[in-house]
Structure 1
Amino acid sequence: MGQNTVREARTRGGVRAADGRGWDDSLHEGDAAGPPRRRGGPHPRGRRGKRRVLRWVASVLSLLILGTAGAGYLYYRHLNGNLKKEELNLGDKPMVDHKVNAAGQTPLNILLIGSDARNSDANKRLGGAKKTFDGPPLADVQMLLHVSADRSNISVISMPRDTLLKMPKCTDPETGEVHPATTNLRMTNASLQRGGPGCTVATWYQLTGITIDHFMMIDFSGVVSMADAIGGVPVCVTDNVRSRNSKGEGSGLELKKGETYIKGEQALQWLRTRYGFEDGTDLARTHAQHMYMNSMVRELKKNTKLSDPNKLRKLAEAATRALTVDDRLDTVKKLYDLGEELKKVPTARITMTTMPSVPSADNNRVLPKPGEAELLFKMVGEDTPLDGKASKKQKPKVSKDPAAPDAEIGVMVQNGTYTDALGAATGRAREVTGVLTGKGFTQARADTQRNPQERTTVYFPSVDLEGDAQAVAKSLGLPLSSAKRSTDVSGVTLVVGADWRSGSTYPKSAAKDDKDKDEALKSARALNGAKADACMEVQPGFTWSD
């Protein structure tokens, strides 16, 4: 099961290039697979290896918590000893505190990391690529699991391992080595080599601004042991499929049309398959992995796998041996508590997505897709469900508490227009105060405090001031949803965001557009956890007859 820690793997041998080989769709060293193709584009050739860690590991990680939760204190000390721990954040910027919702609840964000460490016999057998044995690992799977503040839904965003980003400054806690911030773009999976998983956390925080509460990391052998402990999972294909082409490339997966329960090596083949699914690209493989994840969630929730003492014992053992966790999540009791939070979310409210991306200049790497990737991150950062359900059910309503006359409403106006790229728009608090005064809000006052945020928002501390806040929002042409309750303010407080840097009229383009959200989610290929009829299309040329 790979007992060596990831830290040991990182400190042995030279540093591998981020584009080295990782998980691919073949179990054999000699089966060559070219670099991943983007949907609709050519299949570029080059020296890019076949590394692809199983993206389904995010679901495994979240589910193994449920298994551990069910185990309670079974072998408590023993299981605690199985867990490996590392620091949460190795960046030089502390993460900001969560903003609570109107009910005083906070969201929960967990970064799930799949390491390609080849630091044990099991990992070497599963991962191949002898040149990388005992070298420092890469973070080839990165998924942000967001649990909503009210625990009603879960959203998952995965980031392609070949995404190009700027890396933050990170300090290795063991060696003291300082890895300076990069000015050039590097593959995101290289973050793990810059001190450990805490640097991967720092990289995500720099990109998204989303506060991350915990990380959990798993390696090849951990994935396999978890898959075996969980048991069979049903998958579906639209036709007979055999993943092997004329050059011998492929995972070797062979299934009949329709639904089949898979586990063990066959499950591993499914999760590695690229040739034979849809158009033969990595996007197809990712989609198949998401189907497997959701199917596994449904299986564990609907049947008795977690009530069988023997299976439960195996699952708890495999879970704790497989994991490296942050120093705030370092006991089975804490995993239990986290599991209790996750168990509150129904399967139908789980949404899996992949960060929208575009090819880089060389077409072998990707960049976050402008607009759509940012919108997806913003939705998660603002605790907006990716399935769209809660946003409809919780559509803002006009307050039952009537607003006071405009001239009697006290409003504090703050400048929140600062961005890293543009800085702050000077004088915005004073300018917008003048706009409010002209509209009859004569008690509006400009505050010298700056409160950077993306969207213009009217905060109020208690329900008796909700009507007043909505009146301020309406007068400025802000959407009703921009009036939000917050315990951080003592009165109605207008924060002029980066979406309104100039002018006396709130720009219509700044309003949230459901069409843009739909496009972003379509690009992210959102998949709902309750979609039990999902079936992988089989690629022409990879079918066979009975």
Structure 2
Amino acid sequence: MAERTRDRTLRSLPTARVRHGRQRRAAWWSTALKVVGATMAVVLVSGASVAAIALNNLTSNIDVAQLTDADGNVREIPQVGEWEGGFNVLIVGVDNAEGQTVGESRDTTLNDVNMLVHVAEDQQSAVAVSIPRDLVIRHPGCPQEDGSISSPLSAQPLNVAYGQGGLNCVVLTVEALTGLDIPYAAQISFDGVAMMSTAVGGVDVCITEPIRDRDADLYLETAGTHTVEGYQALAFLRTRYGVGDGSDLSRISSQQVYLSSLMRKVQNEGVLADPTAVYGIATVATQAMKLSPSLSSVDTMVSMALALRNIPTENITFVQYPATTGLGGVYTNKAAPLEDLADQLFQRIANDESFVLAADATGNGSTLDPNAPVAPPTETPVETPAATDPAAPVDPAAPVDPSAAPTESAAPEAPVLDGVLGQTADQYTCSVAN
């Protein structure tokens, strides 16, 4: 039984293996995207009069952040009806958003969480790549409000990108890092993350030992499963020194415990079938998120939702950008990219080529849950006569039927990207307390 801790500060809310087909080039929080789009879709189909009122209220809340190319030219993104093919979208969590009630108090705003979501061309799988905020990389110049371009930066952590040009600059920096086109982007505040967790009714998270992290204001006093919501959920996602080795990489693997659980809940527990919950989630999303113009269209969000809703959890993979810690120089107390491994990962993502993770790939901030539900055994197939069994031994002296259809060869096994850390959404995992 999960230990539930209610967050009373948010009760004013409305109650409410990796496979790919090739992505067309033209054409947080990964679950944030799915929740925003899918909830919009449910609102639309829940009743004409309700939908009309809801959409009028929701769309009036949307805050838009314009995306440009590196020269400052506004991107032209086609709007579509029924979504065709794959897409890339960047979800950015900022730590000092205007008007938020919790977080950092300083003049600058940092892109604290950076998650690139890639949906395959065949819409049967998705990969969400968490890029460490402490990853030291090269930054491109970014367009400024006065029309100028900022100077490129060398050997700076990813989280300074927002201060160089807002959400648009984070997109340009991640594009330069990964080699992928990112036409869609959204940012969410700390308050938004807290409110979203309450709107879905809390999220179950498992921990190996008690966590007491004063810096994150997180106190979970017993090992096992807890239902976190509101600002306690935000504290769980922010805790760094309470899990693993205290690094940003450990925090990412701990965050994936939350994200995979949230994804299972949204897909499997009927959250999107509850109109009250749907409207609450959609309201939070539009109030607490800033969207690129390419995402601010209701048609686009609904189309994405329709593309996303049927992806099974075993085909949704959360991975960390390949990186390491413990180096000196510009990487002191930061993360250094493992470029060769990252190139392998993003080449396969760009080409929609399959890959799998190693059995022990969760990272040092999480581990497989020993008490995870056990899948029921599969039924034993009924044996067929040897004469019709395609797996039966073949007599080389037997005559060949020229009209017989050729036997399909088995698809090649996907390679294991050894060293890439992460998990699939159907895996039950626990955060490793330190």
* TM-score normalized with structure 2 length: 0.71
Equivalent in the alignment of 1:207 = 177
1:251/1:272 contact within 8 Å kept: no
What is the identity, as a one-letter code, of the residue corresponding to 1:234? D
In 2, Cα distance between equivalents of 1:142 and 1:538: 23
Distance change >3 Å, CA 145–CA 63, structure 1 → 2? same
Q: SS at 2:127's partner residue?
A: strand
Deviations 1:237-276 (A, max 9, x none): 233x0414xxx55533224232222212332232222344
Equivalent positions of 1:146-185 (< 5 A) are 146-172=118-144, 174-182=145-153, 184-185=154-155
Q: SS at 1:170's partner residue?
A: coil
What is the identity, as a one-letter code, of the residue corresponding to 1:116? D
Distance change >3 Å, CA 167–CA 62, structure 1 → 2? same
In 1, Cα distance between equivalents of 2:187 and 2:171: 11
Q: SS at 1:161's partner residue?
A: coil
In 1, Cα distance between equivalents of 2:191 and 2:181: 29
What is the identity, as a one-letter code, of the residue corresponding to 2:305? G
What is the identity, as a one-letter code, of the residue corresponding to 1:357? A
Equivalent positions of 1:116-131 (< 5 A) are 116-120=95-99, 123=100, 125-129=101-105
Stretch of structure 1 that moved more, 355-364 or 301-310: 355-364
In 1, Cα distance between equivalents of 2:76 and 2:119: 16
- For 2:431, which of 514, 528, 536 is the aligned residue? 536
In 2, Cα distance between equivalents of 1:107 and 1:93: 25
Q: SS at 2:271's partner residue?
A: coil
1:164/1:367 contact within 8 Å kept: yes
Q: CA deviation at 1:145?
A: 0.2
Q: SS at 1:141's partner residue?
A: strand
Deviations 1:301-321 (A, max 9, x none): 112222222211111100111
Deviations 1:414-440 (A, max 9, x none): xxxxxxxxxxxxxxxxxxxxxxxxxxx
Distance change >3 Å, CA 118–CA 84, structure 1 → 2? closer
Equivalent positions of 1:129-278 (< 5 A) are 129=105, 132=106, 135-172=107-144, 174-182=145-153, 184-239=154-209, 241-244=210-213, 249=215, 251-278=217-244
In 2, Cα distance between equivalents of 1:286 and 1:339: 25
Equivalent in the alignment of 1:82 = 61
Distance change >3 Å, CA 59–CA 388, structure 1 → 2? same
- For 1:342, which of 290, 304, 308 is the aligned residue? 308
In 2, Cα distance between equivalents of 1:337 and 1:369: 35
1:83/1:331 contact within 8 Å kept: no
Distance change >3 Å, CA 250–CA 178, structure 1 → 2? closer
In 1, Cα distance between equivalents of 2:231 and 2:142: 38
For the aligned residues, what is the CA RMSD?
3.0
Q: SS at 1:519's partner residue?
A: coil
1:324 aligns with 2:290: yes
Distance change >3 Å, CA 88–CA 344, structure 1 → 2? farther
| Higher relative contact order, structure no. (Cα contacts within 8 Å, ≥ 6 residues apart) | 2
2:254/2:431 contact within 8 Å kept: yes
2:253/2:422 contact within 8 Å kept: no
- For 1:314, which of 259, 269, 280 is the aligned residue? 280
Deviations 1:317-339 (A, max 9, x none): 00111221112222222211111
In 2, Cα distance between equivalents of 1:334 and 1:90: 21
Identity of aligned residues (%): 27
- Of structures 1 and 2, the larger Rg is shown by 1
Aligned length: 340
Distance change >3 Å, CA 276–CA 140, structure 1 → 2? closer
> Structure 2: which 5+ residue stretches go unaligned?
1-27, 45-50, 78-83, 359-410
Q: CA deviation at 1:233?
A: 1.3
1:205/1:211 contact within 8 Å kept: yes
1:233/1:292 contact within 8 Å kept: yes
In 2, Cα distance between equivalents of 1:111 and 1:70: 23
Equivalent in the alignment of 2:248 = 282
In 1, Cα distance between equivalents of 2:252 and 2:117: 16
What is the identity, as a one-letter code, of the residue corresponding to 2:137? L
Distance change >3 Å, CA 529–CA 145, structure 1 → 2? same
> Structure 1: which 5+ residue stretches go unaligned?
1-55, 99-104, 390-479, 482-511, 540-546
In 1, Cα distance between equivalents of 2:285 and 2:122: 27
- For 2:70, which of 91, 110, 116 is the aligned residue? 91
1:375/1:520 contact within 8 Å kept: no
In 1, Cα distance between equivalents of 2:76 and 2:63: 26
Equivalent in the alignment of 2:14 = none
Q: SS at 1:149's partner residue?
A: coil
Equivalent positions of 1:412-423 (< 5 A) are none
- For 1:351, which of 317, 327, 342 is the aligned residue? 317
In 2, Cα distance between equivalents of 1:369 and 1:136: 28
Q: CA deviation at 1:93?
A: 9.0
In 1, Cα distance between equivalents of 2:117 and 2:328: 26
